[in-house]
A and B are shown apart, each in its own frame.
Chain A
Protein backbone atom coordinates (compact mmCIF):
# COMPACT_ATOMS: atom_id res chain seq x y z
CA UNK A 1 0.00 0.00 0.00
CA UNK A 2 2.75 2.44 0.87
CA UNK A 3 4.44 1.32 -2.29
CA UNK A 4 1.47 2.41 -4.35
CA UNK A 5 1.44 5.74 -2.56
CA UNK A 6 5.10 6.28 -3.28
CA UNK A 7 4.58 5.36 -6.92
CA UNK A 8 1.78 7.87 -7.33
CA UNK A 9 3.69 10.57 -5.46
CA UNK A 10 6.78 10.02 -7.55
CA UNK A 11 4.88 10.06 -10.81
CA UNK A 12 3.06 13.17 -9.70
CA UNK A 13 6.31 14.85 -8.76
CA UNK A 14 7.87 14.13 -12.10
CA UNK A 15 4.89 15.12 -14.19
CA UNK A 16 4.12 18.24 -12.25
CA UNK A 17 7.57 19.61 -11.48
CA UNK A 18 9.55 18.80 -14.62
CA UNK A 19 8.23 21.64 -16.79
CA UNK A 20 9.33 24.10 -14.11
CA UNK A 21 12.88 22.88 -14.52
CA UNK A 22 12.84 23.69 -18.18
CA UNK A 23 11.25 27.04 -17.46
CA UNK A 24 13.92 27.76 -14.87
CA UNK A 25 16.71 27.10 -17.33
CA UNK A 26 15.11 29.31 -19.97
CA UNK A 27 14.56 32.09 -17.45
CA UNK A 28 18.17 32.05 -16.31
CA UNK A 29 19.42 32.06 -19.88
CA UNK A 30 17.26 34.98 -20.76
CA UNK A 31 18.28 36.89 -17.68
CA UNK A 32 21.93 36.47 -18.52
CA UNK A 33 21.16 37.73 -21.99
CA UNK A 34 19.86 40.90 -20.34
CA UNK A 35 16.23 40.18 -21.17
CA UNK A 36 13.26 39.75 -18.87
CA UNK A 37 12.37 36.53 -20.58
CA UNK A 38 9.31 34.34 -20.32
CA UNK A 39 7.90 33.34 -16.95
CA UNK A 40 9.20 30.27 -15.20
CA UNK A 41 5.80 28.65 -15.59
CA UNK A 42 5.62 29.24 -19.33
CA UNK A 43 6.04 25.53 -20.20
CA UNK A 44 2.78 24.83 -18.34
CA UNK A 45 0.97 27.43 -20.41
CA UNK A 46 2.50 25.90 -23.55
CA UNK A 47 1.29 22.44 -22.62
CA UNK A 48 -2.23 23.62 -21.84
CA UNK A 49 -2.29 25.46 -25.15
CA UNK A 50 -1.09 22.39 -27.03
CA UNK A 51 -3.75 20.22 -25.47
CA UNK A 52 -6.49 22.44 -26.77
CA UNK A 53 -5.18 22.74 -30.32
CA UNK A 54 -6.12 20.73 -33.37
CA UNK A 55 -3.66 18.34 -34.80
CA UNK A 56 -2.45 18.07 -38.38
CA UNK A 57 -1.13 14.68 -39.37
CA UNK A 58 0.67 14.01 -42.62
CA UNK A 59 -1.04 11.71 -45.06
CA UNK A 60 2.13 9.69 -45.50
CA UNK A 61 2.19 8.84 -41.81
CA UNK A 62 1.15 5.41 -40.59
CA UNK A 63 0.14 4.04 -37.21
CA UNK A 64 3.72 4.32 -35.97
CA UNK A 65 3.47 8.11 -36.09
CA UNK A 66 0.25 8.03 -34.13
CA UNK A 67 1.40 5.56 -31.48
CA UNK A 68 4.89 6.96 -30.84
CA UNK A 69 4.00 9.78 -28.43
CA UNK A 70 2.27 7.36 -26.09
CA UNK A 71 5.18 4.92 -26.20
CA UNK A 72 7.69 7.70 -25.56
CA UNK A 73 5.62 9.07 -22.69
CA UNK A 74 5.04 5.71 -21.02
CA UNK A 75 8.64 4.58 -21.39
CA UNK A 76 9.96 7.80 -19.87
CA UNK A 77 7.54 7.51 -16.97
CA UNK A 78 8.62 3.91 -16.42
CA UNK A 79 12.19 5.14 -16.28
CA UNK A 80 11.07 7.72 -13.73
CA UNK A 81 9.76 4.92 -11.56
CA UNK A 82 13.20 3.34 -11.46
CA UNK A 83 14.80 6.36 -9.84
CA UNK A 84 14.91 6.67 -6.04
CA UNK A 85 13.52 10.02 -4.96
CA UNK A 86 11.96 9.83 -1.52
CA UNK A 87 13.38 6.64 -0.12
CA UNK A 88 16.59 4.96 -0.95
CA UNK A 89 15.03 2.21 -2.96
CA UNK A 90 13.11 3.21 -6.02
CA UNK A 91 9.46 2.29 -5.88
CA UNK A 92 9.79 -0.40 -8.48
CA UNK A 93 13.41 -1.29 -8.07
CA UNK A 94 12.51 -4.90 -8.78
CA UNK A 95 11.88 -3.86 -12.30
CA UNK A 96 15.28 -2.85 -13.45
CA UNK A 97 18.51 -1.12 -12.68
CA UNK A 98 20.72 1.60 -14.06
CA UNK A 99 21.54 -0.36 -17.24
CA UNK A 100 17.86 -0.94 -17.80
CA UNK A 101 17.33 2.82 -17.67
CA UNK A 102 19.62 3.28 -20.64
CA UNK A 103 17.71 0.74 -22.67
CA UNK A 104 14.37 2.27 -21.77
CA UNK A 105 15.54 5.62 -23.09
CA UNK A 106 16.65 3.77 -26.22
CA UNK A 107 13.11 2.47 -26.69
CA UNK A 108 11.64 5.97 -26.74
CA UNK A 109 14.35 7.22 -29.03
CA UNK A 110 13.89 4.33 -31.47
CA UNK A 111 10.22 5.05 -31.92
CA UNK A 112 10.74 8.78 -32.16
CA UNK A 113 13.30 8.26 -34.92
CA UNK A 114 10.94 5.95 -36.78
CA UNK A 115 8.09 8.41 -36.47
CA UNK A 116 10.33 11.12 -37.89
CA UNK A 117 11.08 8.98 -40.94
CA UNK A 118 7.41 8.14 -41.23
CA UNK A 119 6.35 11.50 -42.57
CA UNK A 120 8.66 11.41 -45.60
CA UNK A 121 9.98 14.83 -44.77
CA UNK A 122 13.68 15.59 -45.11
CA UNK A 123 13.71 17.34 -41.76
CA UNK A 124 12.53 14.18 -40.09
CA UNK A 125 15.12 12.05 -41.82
CA UNK A 126 17.86 14.48 -40.91
CA UNK A 127 16.73 14.66 -37.32
CA UNK A 128 16.53 10.93 -36.83
CA UNK A 129 19.88 10.35 -38.54
CA UNK A 130 21.64 12.86 -36.33
CA UNK A 131 19.83 11.77 -33.20
CA UNK A 132 20.74 8.11 -33.69
CA UNK A 133 24.32 9.17 -34.40
CA UNK A 134 24.63 11.16 -31.21
CA UNK A 135 22.82 8.62 -29.07
CA UNK A 136 24.97 5.74 -30.27
CA UNK A 137 28.01 7.73 -29.27
CA UNK A 138 26.60 8.49 -25.82
CA UNK A 139 25.99 4.83 -25.06
CA UNK A 140 29.59 3.83 -24.32
CA UNK A 141 30.04 6.91 -22.13
CA UNK A 142 26.91 6.05 -20.20
CA UNK A 143 28.06 2.49 -19.79
CA UNK A 144 31.42 3.55 -18.39
CA UNK A 145 29.77 6.05 -16.04
CA UNK A 146 27.42 3.32 -14.82
CA UNK A 147 30.30 0.96 -14.24
CA UNK A 148 32.39 3.56 -12.44
CA UNK A 149 29.58 4.73 -10.18
CA UNK A 150 28.21 1.26 -9.53
CA UNK A 151 31.68 -0.01 -8.73
CA UNK A 152 31.81 2.50 -5.92
CA UNK A 153 28.25 1.81 -4.85
CA UNK A 154 28.51 -1.97 -5.10
CA UNK A 155 25.77 -2.74 -7.58
CA UNK A 156 24.14 -1.28 -10.63
CA UNK A 157 20.84 -0.92 -8.87
CA UNK A 158 19.81 2.66 -8.44
CA UNK A 159 18.99 1.92 -4.81
CA UNK A 160 22.69 1.53 -4.21
CA UNK A 161 23.14 4.92 -5.81
CA UNK A 162 20.53 6.21 -3.44
CA UNK A 163 22.48 4.88 -0.49
CA UNK A 164 25.76 6.47 -1.52
CA UNK A 165 26.95 9.22 0.71
CA UNK A 166 30.60 9.81 -0.16
CA UNK A 167 32.06 11.94 -2.88
CA UNK A 168 35.25 10.64 -4.41
CA UNK A 169 37.37 11.73 -7.32
CA UNK A 170 35.97 8.98 -9.46
CA UNK A 171 32.42 10.05 -8.79
CA UNK A 172 33.22 13.64 -9.68
CA UNK A 173 34.82 12.65 -12.95
CA UNK A 174 31.93 10.27 -13.63
CA UNK A 175 29.51 13.09 -12.91
CA UNK A 176 31.37 15.28 -15.40
CA UNK A 177 31.06 12.58 -18.05
CA UNK A 178 27.39 12.15 -17.21
CA UNK A 179 27.01 15.89 -17.51
CA UNK A 180 28.33 15.74 -21.08
CA UNK A 181 25.93 12.91 -21.81
CA UNK A 182 23.03 14.84 -20.30
CA UNK A 183 23.80 17.77 -22.57
CA UNK A 184 23.69 15.43 -25.54
CA UNK A 185 20.60 13.56 -24.46
CA UNK A 186 18.52 16.61 -23.53
CA UNK A 187 19.62 18.38 -26.69
CA UNK A 188 21.20 21.41 -25.12
CA UNK A 189 23.83 23.73 -26.52
CA UNK A 190 26.68 22.76 -27.36
CA UNK A 191 25.15 19.70 -28.97
CA UNK A 192 21.79 20.95 -30.11
CA UNK A 193 19.75 24.10 -29.75
CA UNK A 194 16.19 23.74 -28.51
CA UNK A 195 15.25 27.22 -29.56
CA UNK A 196 15.97 26.93 -33.24
CA UNK A 197 14.15 25.45 -36.18
CA UNK A 198 16.83 25.86 -38.80
CA UNK A 199 17.45 22.63 -40.63
CA UNK A 200 21.18 22.99 -40.47
CA UNK A 201 21.21 23.06 -36.73
CA UNK A 202 18.30 21.19 -35.22
CA UNK A 203 18.38 17.61 -34.11
CA UNK A 204 15.71 16.78 -31.58
CA UNK A 205 13.39 19.47 -32.82
CA UNK A 206 13.70 18.10 -36.35
CA UNK A 207 12.39 14.75 -35.23
CA UNK A 208 9.28 16.22 -33.68
CA UNK A 209 8.73 18.82 -36.37
CA UNK A 210 5.65 17.15 -37.77
CA UNK A 211 3.97 16.70 -34.39
CA UNK A 212 1.31 19.13 -33.26
CA UNK A 213 -1.42 19.45 -30.69
CA UNK A 214 -1.87 16.81 -28.01
CA UNK A 215 0.72 14.44 -29.37
CA UNK A 216 3.33 17.14 -29.28
CA UNK A 217 2.30 17.88 -25.69
CA UNK A 218 2.94 14.26 -24.71
CA UNK A 219 6.34 14.28 -26.36
CA UNK A 220 7.31 17.55 -24.71
CA UNK A 221 6.32 16.20 -21.31
CA UNK A 222 8.37 13.10 -21.94
CA UNK A 223 11.43 15.17 -22.78
CA UNK A 224 10.99 17.26 -19.61
CA UNK A 225 10.77 14.10 -17.49
CA UNK A 226 13.85 12.60 -19.15
CA UNK A 227 15.77 15.79 -18.46
CA UNK A 228 14.74 15.66 -14.82
CA UNK A 229 15.84 12.04 -14.47
CA UNK A 230 19.26 12.79 -15.94
CA UNK A 231 19.72 15.83 -13.74
CA UNK A 232 18.75 13.80 -10.72
CA UNK A 233 21.37 11.20 -11.54
CA UNK A 234 24.06 13.84 -11.85
CA UNK A 235 22.93 15.45 -8.61
CA UNK A 236 22.95 12.19 -6.73
CA UNK A 237 26.49 11.48 -7.88
CA UNK A 238 27.84 14.94 -7.17
CA UNK A 239 25.98 15.71 -3.95
CA UNK A 240 25.20 12.29 -2.63
CA UNK A 241 22.84 12.25 0.28
CA UNK A 242 21.89 8.88 1.60
CA UNK A 243 18.16 8.59 1.38
CA UNK A 244 16.34 7.02 4.30
CA UNK A 245 13.75 4.32 4.53
CA UNK A 246 10.11 5.16 4.49
CA UNK A 247 9.07 7.71 7.06
CA UNK A 248 6.46 10.31 7.88
CA UNK A 249 4.87 12.93 5.71
CA UNK A 250 7.18 15.77 6.80
CA UNK A 251 10.13 13.58 6.01
CA UNK A 252 8.83 13.09 2.47
CA UNK A 253 8.31 16.83 2.10
CA UNK A 254 11.81 17.52 3.35
CA UNK A 255 13.42 15.01 1.02
CA UNK A 256 11.50 16.23 -1.99
CA UNK A 257 12.59 19.78 -1.24
CA UNK A 258 16.24 18.85 -1.01
CA UNK A 259 15.82 16.81 -4.15
CA UNK A 260 14.46 19.82 -5.98
CA UNK A 261 17.19 22.02 -4.57
CA UNK A 262 19.91 19.70 -5.86
CA UNK A 263 18.36 19.51 -9.27
CA UNK A 264 17.96 23.26 -9.40
CA UNK A 265 21.70 23.66 -8.86
CA UNK A 266 22.41 21.37 -11.79
CA UNK A 267 19.90 23.28 -13.88
CA UNK A 268 21.65 26.54 -13.13
CA UNK A 269 24.97 25.06 -14.19
CA UNK A 270 23.45 23.82 -17.42
CA UNK A 271 21.95 27.21 -18.11
CA UNK A 272 25.31 28.87 -17.59
CA UNK A 273 26.96 26.39 -19.94
CA UNK A 274 24.28 26.95 -22.56
CA UNK A 275 24.75 30.66 -22.52
CA UNK A 276 28.52 30.75 -22.59
CA UNK A 277 29.32 28.05 -25.12
CA UNK A 278 28.55 28.06 -28.85
CA UNK A 279 26.90 25.16 -30.58
CA UNK A 280 29.29 22.69 -32.18
CA UNK A 281 29.29 21.26 -35.66
CA UNK A 282 27.62 17.90 -35.78
CA UNK A 283 30.80 16.00 -36.56
CA UNK A 284 32.59 17.60 -33.65
CA UNK A 285 30.03 16.07 -31.34
CA UNK A 286 31.93 12.84 -31.92
CA UNK A 287 35.02 14.42 -30.43
CA UNK A 288 32.97 15.89 -27.61
CA UNK A 289 31.58 12.51 -26.67
CA UNK A 290 34.98 10.95 -27.21
CA UNK A 291 36.22 13.29 -24.49
CA UNK A 292 33.37 11.99 -22.39
CA UNK A 293 34.54 8.45 -23.08
CA UNK A 294 38.03 9.28 -21.91
CA UNK A 295 36.56 10.85 -18.77
CA UNK A 296 34.58 7.69 -18.22
CA UNK A 297 37.69 5.54 -18.51
CA UNK A 298 39.50 7.77 -16.03
CA UNK A 299 36.54 7.53 -13.68
CA UNK A 300 36.59 3.75 -13.92
CA UNK A 301 40.32 3.61 -13.28
CA UNK A 302 39.97 5.91 -10.27
CA UNK A 303 37.11 3.79 -8.97
CA UNK A 304 39.25 0.69 -9.31
CA UNK A 305 42.11 2.34 -7.53
CA UNK A 306 39.70 3.17 -4.75
CA UNK A 307 40.28 6.88 -5.05
Chain B
Protein backbone atom coordinates (compact mmCIF):
# COMPACT_ATOMS: atom_id res chain seq x y z
CA UNK B 1 0.00 0.00 0.00
CA UNK B 2 2.70 2.46 0.98
CA UNK B 3 4.62 1.63 -2.17
CA UNK B 4 1.83 3.08 -4.25
CA UNK B 5 1.90 6.28 -2.26
CA UNK B 6 5.62 6.52 -2.80
CA UNK B 7 5.08 5.93 -6.47
CA UNK B 8 2.57 8.73 -6.46
CA UNK B 9 5.12 11.06 -4.90
CA UNK B 10 7.64 10.12 -7.52
CA UNK B 11 5.22 10.62 -10.39
CA UNK B 12 4.22 14.04 -9.04
CA UNK B 13 7.88 14.95 -8.89
CA UNK B 14 8.38 13.99 -12.51
CA UNK B 15 5.35 16.04 -13.39
CA UNK B 16 7.11 19.01 -11.80
CA UNK B 17 10.15 18.39 -13.91
CA UNK B 18 8.22 18.50 -17.14
CA UNK B 19 6.16 21.52 -16.20
CA UNK B 20 6.73 24.45 -18.50
CA UNK B 21 4.49 26.97 -16.89
CA UNK B 22 4.02 28.21 -13.36
CA UNK B 23 0.47 26.90 -12.75
CA UNK B 24 1.54 23.44 -13.90
CA UNK B 25 4.44 23.51 -11.44
CA UNK B 26 2.12 24.55 -8.66
CA UNK B 27 -0.38 21.84 -9.41
CA UNK B 28 2.25 19.14 -9.42
CA UNK B 29 3.58 20.48 -6.15
CA UNK B 30 0.12 20.20 -4.67
CA UNK B 31 -0.20 16.63 -5.83
CA UNK B 32 3.19 15.80 -4.36
CA UNK B 33 2.26 17.31 -1.05
CA UNK B 34 -1.04 15.45 -1.04
CA UNK B 35 0.67 12.14 -1.55
CA UNK B 36 3.16 13.11 1.11
CA UNK B 37 0.38 13.65 3.58
CA UNK B 38 -1.10 10.27 2.64
CA UNK B 39 2.34 8.81 3.33
CA UNK B 40 2.40 10.45 6.73
CA UNK B 41 -1.12 9.15 7.45
CA UNK B 42 -0.26 5.63 6.55
CA UNK B 43 2.91 5.76 8.58
CA UNK B 44 0.93 7.02 11.48
CA UNK B 45 -1.54 4.21 10.99
CA UNK B 46 1.16 1.57 10.91
CA UNK B 47 3.39 2.94 13.64
CA UNK B 48 0.50 4.08 15.78
CA UNK B 49 1.94 7.54 16.40
CA UNK B 50 -0.69 10.11 17.10
CA UNK B 51 1.41 13.08 16.06
CA UNK B 52 1.81 11.78 12.54
CA UNK B 53 -1.89 12.29 11.99
CA UNK B 54 -1.53 15.84 13.12
CA UNK B 55 1.44 16.32 10.87
CA UNK B 56 -0.35 14.85 7.93
CA UNK B 57 -3.14 17.30 8.54
CA UNK B 58 -0.62 20.12 8.75
CA UNK B 59 0.97 19.09 5.49
CA UNK B 60 -2.37 19.12 3.76
CA UNK B 61 -3.33 22.47 5.13
CA UNK B 62 -0.01 24.17 4.60
CA UNK B 63 1.48 22.64 1.52
CA UNK B 64 -1.60 21.74 -0.43
CA UNK B 65 -3.67 24.81 0.21
CA UNK B 66 -2.07 27.77 1.93
CA UNK B 67 1.37 28.00 0.39
CA UNK B 68 0.24 27.49 -3.20
CA UNK B 69 -2.43 30.10 -2.66
CA UNK B 70 0.16 32.58 -1.36
CA UNK B 71 2.33 31.88 -4.34
CA UNK B 72 -0.55 32.20 -6.78
CA UNK B 73 -1.48 35.54 -5.34
CA UNK B 74 2.03 36.86 -5.68
CA UNK B 75 2.19 35.58 -9.23
CA UNK B 76 -1.01 37.41 -10.07
CA UNK B 77 0.24 40.58 -8.41
CA UNK B 78 3.44 40.76 -10.32
CA UNK B 79 1.66 39.90 -13.48
CA UNK B 80 4.53 38.07 -14.96
CA UNK B 81 4.68 35.81 -17.91
CA UNK B 82 3.68 32.30 -16.92
CA UNK B 83 6.54 30.64 -18.68
CA UNK B 84 9.10 29.12 -16.45
CA UNK B 85 12.31 29.83 -18.31
CA UNK B 86 14.03 26.53 -18.90
CA UNK B 87 17.81 26.24 -19.07
CA UNK B 88 17.53 22.58 -19.82
CA UNK B 89 14.73 21.52 -22.14
CA UNK B 90 12.00 19.13 -21.03
CA UNK B 91 13.31 15.96 -22.56
CA UNK B 92 16.80 16.41 -21.18
CA UNK B 93 15.35 17.35 -17.78
CA UNK B 94 13.42 14.14 -17.73
CA UNK B 95 16.50 12.13 -18.58
CA UNK B 96 18.43 13.88 -15.82
CA UNK B 97 15.62 13.23 -13.39
CA UNK B 98 15.71 9.55 -14.26
CA UNK B 99 19.47 9.52 -13.77
CA UNK B 100 19.08 11.16 -10.40
CA UNK B 101 16.58 8.55 -9.39
CA UNK B 102 19.00 5.80 -10.44
CA UNK B 103 21.75 7.57 -8.50
CA UNK B 104 19.66 7.67 -5.35
CA UNK B 105 18.88 4.02 -5.84
CA UNK B 106 22.57 3.14 -5.87
CA UNK B 107 23.00 5.40 -2.88
CA UNK B 108 20.41 3.35 -1.02
CA UNK B 109 22.37 0.25 -1.95
CA UNK B 110 25.61 1.87 -0.74
CA UNK B 111 23.99 2.60 2.56
CA UNK B 112 23.50 -1.06 2.93
CA UNK B 113 19.80 -1.55 2.60
CA UNK B 114 18.82 -4.53 0.53
CA UNK B 115 15.71 -4.66 -1.62
CA UNK B 116 12.95 -3.91 0.79
CA UNK B 117 10.52 -1.19 1.54
CA UNK B 118 13.09 0.98 3.25
CA UNK B 119 15.41 1.06 0.28
CA UNK B 120 12.51 2.08 -1.92
CA UNK B 121 11.62 4.82 0.49
CA UNK B 122 15.20 6.07 0.55
CA UNK B 123 15.36 6.00 -3.21
CA UNK B 124 12.22 8.03 -3.59
CA UNK B 125 13.16 10.46 -0.83
CA UNK B 126 16.58 11.20 -2.19
CA UNK B 127 15.36 11.47 -5.72
CA UNK B 128 12.82 14.03 -4.55
CA UNK B 129 15.64 15.98 -2.84
CA UNK B 130 17.89 15.86 -5.86
CA UNK B 131 15.15 16.73 -8.27
CA UNK B 132 14.21 19.68 -6.08
CA UNK B 133 17.79 20.86 -6.25
CA UNK B 134 17.85 20.32 -9.97
CA UNK B 135 14.75 22.40 -10.32
CA UNK B 136 16.45 25.27 -8.54
CA UNK B 137 19.37 25.09 -10.91
CA UNK B 138 17.70 24.64 -14.22
CA UNK B 139 14.82 27.09 -14.13
CA UNK B 140 15.26 30.76 -14.62
CA UNK B 141 12.40 32.31 -12.71
CA UNK B 142 12.67 32.97 -9.00
CA UNK B 143 9.52 30.99 -8.42
CA UNK B 144 11.33 27.84 -9.31
CA UNK B 145 13.83 28.47 -6.57
CA UNK B 146 11.06 28.83 -4.01
CA UNK B 147 9.29 25.70 -5.15
CA UNK B 148 12.53 23.82 -5.39
CA UNK B 149 13.29 24.59 -1.77
CA UNK B 150 9.86 23.38 -0.74
CA UNK B 151 10.32 20.18 -2.70
CA UNK B 152 13.64 19.57 -1.01
CA UNK B 153 12.00 19.99 2.34
CA UNK B 154 9.35 17.53 1.27
CA UNK B 155 12.01 15.04 0.38
CA UNK B 156 13.75 15.44 3.72
CA UNK B 157 10.48 14.87 5.52
CA UNK B 158 9.82 11.80 3.43
CA UNK B 159 13.23 10.39 4.27
CA UNK B 160 12.84 11.04 7.95
CA UNK B 161 9.34 9.76 8.25
CA UNK B 162 9.98 6.56 6.33
CA UNK B 163 13.09 5.59 8.21
CA UNK B 164 12.36 6.67 11.71
CA UNK B 165 8.66 7.16 11.71
CA UNK B 166 9.03 10.85 11.78
CA UNK B 167 11.34 13.20 13.58
CA UNK B 168 10.60 14.38 17.08
CA UNK B 169 7.38 16.25 17.12
CA UNK B 170 8.67 19.63 17.99
CA UNK B 171 11.29 19.44 15.28
CA UNK B 172 8.56 18.81 12.76
CA UNK B 173 6.53 21.76 13.96
CA UNK B 174 9.57 23.96 13.94
CA UNK B 175 10.44 22.93 10.42
CA UNK B 176 6.95 23.62 9.25
CA UNK B 177 6.94 27.06 10.69
CA UNK B 178 10.36 27.70 9.20
CA UNK B 179 9.18 26.70 5.80
CA UNK B 180 6.05 28.75 6.09
CA UNK B 181 7.91 31.87 7.10
CA UNK B 182 10.56 31.39 4.50
CA UNK B 183 7.94 31.13 1.80
CA UNK B 184 6.40 34.38 2.92
CA UNK B 185 9.79 36.02 2.89
CA UNK B 186 10.73 34.62 -0.44
CA UNK B 187 7.45 35.77 -1.82
CA UNK B 188 8.19 39.23 -0.57
CA UNK B 189 11.59 39.08 -2.15
CA UNK B 190 10.23 38.02 -5.48
CA UNK B 191 7.78 40.88 -5.32
CA UNK B 192 10.57 43.28 -4.47
CA UNK B 193 12.89 41.94 -7.13
CA UNK B 194 10.18 42.42 -9.69
CA UNK B 195 9.38 45.88 -8.51
CA UNK B 196 13.03 46.88 -8.77
CA UNK B 197 14.20 45.06 -11.80
CA UNK B 198 10.73 44.69 -13.46
CA UNK B 199 11.39 41.03 -14.00
CA UNK B 200 12.14 38.00 -11.92
CA UNK B 201 14.60 36.44 -14.24
CA UNK B 202 17.32 35.48 -11.81
CA UNK B 203 19.70 34.93 -14.67
CA UNK B 204 19.71 38.66 -15.29
CA UNK B 205 21.03 39.32 -11.78
CA UNK B 206 24.43 38.17 -12.97
CA UNK B 207 25.79 41.71 -12.91
CA UNK B 208 26.14 41.42 -9.13
CA UNK B 209 29.57 39.90 -9.02
CA UNK B 210 33.00 40.64 -7.53
A and B touch in the complex (CB under 8 A): no
